[in-house]
Amino acid sequence: MSSYGSRHPLDDPHAGAKQTAVPEGAKVTVPAVRAAKGTRTPLVMTTAYDAATARIADSAGVEVILVGDSLGMVVLGRDSTLGVSIDEMVHHTAAVASQRPRALVVGDMPFLSYHVSIEDTVRNAGRLVVEGGAECVKIEGGRKRLRMIGALLDAEIPVMGHLGLTPQSVNAMGGFRVQGKVRKQAEELLADAAALAEAGVFAMVLEGVPAELAELITADVGVPTIGIGAGPHCDGQVLVIHDLLGLTDGHVPKFVRCYADLGALAVDAVGRYADDVRSGAFPAADESYRLPSDVAAALGASPMPAGTTEN
């Protein structure tokens, strides 16, 4: 059995009782997420991009909501995350934060918002916090980001790291490819993870890395790892909410599990609405506002059908 096996529900004598990585009820904070390292129950994170998805995620009890720059692909319909601007991220982060979720709200820093200068990095992260209401930010990359991480922490902005298949590096990687399959790359990732933890990130996403490597990194670093396409041994898991709800069009990666087919449900619902409009079945009398009968009579308007109340 691996060193993480005991965390799995099948090995857990209390399996069945609902357990959470952060005590239920209280607002989830950065220290609470950091303290979840090594707890038996994995952290749960999903993305959200607006008030509706934030309410869904928070009502379901996830601990962390990431306003991801996956926004560019799943909400804005682009081919990559590269064109997402800091203005767009602030706009959508504010929509999520407007719901005052119990979950920790992480604002994702988009491409080029933390690459140019330290001043730029802190100002952009500050916008996510001040204008967007994020409680911390996430940035992609390893040791080359240490200066920026230090500056953000100096500005009291907690940072979540992100290693492995970092989508903002799609051009450098030559596509969306699993990272760390060759020894040198795996060693680089181990070194990056250690450096991020040492620098003070409170958690890190591991995306698109082999499960064995994610297990090694998780054992090595003192902060929670949150996996996506990184196997079962991380301290938490994250999925894009559109993917898990069945709202994604086209290719869905093999690491995604679809828990609903809301896309099909929605097409069916809108189709039935269209049928009702075309047949005249919608709106019904009870779905319409009416004139008071004296006003209707004075205007010569058609009388209310029997049983309809004025409102």
Binding ligand KIV (rule: CB under 6 A), the pick from 109, 159, 196, 240 is 240
Reference 229, options 161, 162, 136, 141; nearest CA is 162
State the burial class of residue 92 (Cβ atoms within 10 Å of its Cβ: 0-12, 13-18, 19+).
buried
What span, in angstroms and rounded, lies between the C-alpha atoms of 204 and 105? Answer: 15
Residue 290 Cβ vs ligand KIV, minimum distance, rounded to whole Å: 48
Tokens of 103: 């979950």
> Using CB under 6 A, which of the segments 63-71, 144-152, 243-251, 276-284 binds ligand KIV?
63-71
3-state SS assignment for residue 60: coil
Tell me if 46 contacts ligand KIV by CB under 6 A.
no
The set of catalytic residues is 207
Nearest-approach distance from CB 6 to ligand KIV, in angstroms: 26
**What is the smallest separation between the CB atom of 261 and ligand KIV, expressed in angstroms?**
21
Does position 70 bind ligand KIV by CB under 6 A? Answer: yes
Burial class (CB in 10 A: 0-12, 13-18, 19+), 15: exposed
- AA identity, residue 6: S
Report the distance separating Cα 305 and Cα 309, nearest Å.
Answer: 9
Q: Which is nearer to ligand KIV, 195 or 226 (CB)?
A: 226
Size of the site for ligand KIV (CB under 6 A): 11
For ligand KIV, which residue of 238, 244, 245, 247 counts as binding (CB under 6 A)?
A: 238
Residue in 68, 101, 110, 161 binding ligand KIV, rule: CB under 6 A = 68
Residue pair 163/142 in contact by the 8 Å Cβ criterion: yes
The stretch near ligand KIV (CB under 6 A) out of 62-70, 119-127, 190-198, 254-262 is 62-70
Query: 232 and 8 in contact (C-beta within 8 Å)?
Result: yes
Question: Could you tell me the maximum CA-CA distance found in the chain, to the nearest angstrom?
Answer: 86
Instruction: Output the six-digit token pair for 175.
Output: 């596509």
Q: How long is the chain?
A: 311
| Count of alpha carbons within 13 angstroms of residue 159, beta-carbon side | 30
Q: Residue 148 Cβ, how far from ligand KIV at the closest point, in Å?
A: 17
Which residue in this structure is represented by tokens 């601007």?
85
Give min distance, CB of 205 to ligand KIV, in A: 5
Q: Looking at 13-21, 65-73, 129-137, 173-181, which segment touches ligand KIV (CB under 6 A)?
A: 65-73
User: Minimum distance between the CB of residue 82 and ligand KIV, rounded to whole angstroms?
Assistant: 12
Q: Does 53 bind ligand KIV (CB under 6 A)?
A: no
- 3-state class of 156 per DSSP? coil
Indicate whether 69 belongs to the interface with ligand KIV (CB under 6 A): yes
One DSSP character per residue, 112-149 reads: TSSSS-HHHHHHHHHHHHHTT--SEEE--BSGGGHHHH
Q: Is 47 in the site for ligand KIV (CB under 6 A)?
A: yes
Site string for ligand KIV, 108-147 (x = CB under 6 A): x---------------------------------------
State how far the Cα of 147 lies from the Cα of 118, in Å rounded to an integer.
8
Stretch of 3-11, 66-74, 120-128, 182-190 contacting ligand KIV, by CB under 6 A: 66-74
Q: Which is nearer to ligand KIV, 67 or 216 (CB)?
A: 67
Q: Which residues bind ligand KIV (CB under 6 A)?
A: 47, 66, 68-70, 108, 205, 207, 228, 238, 240
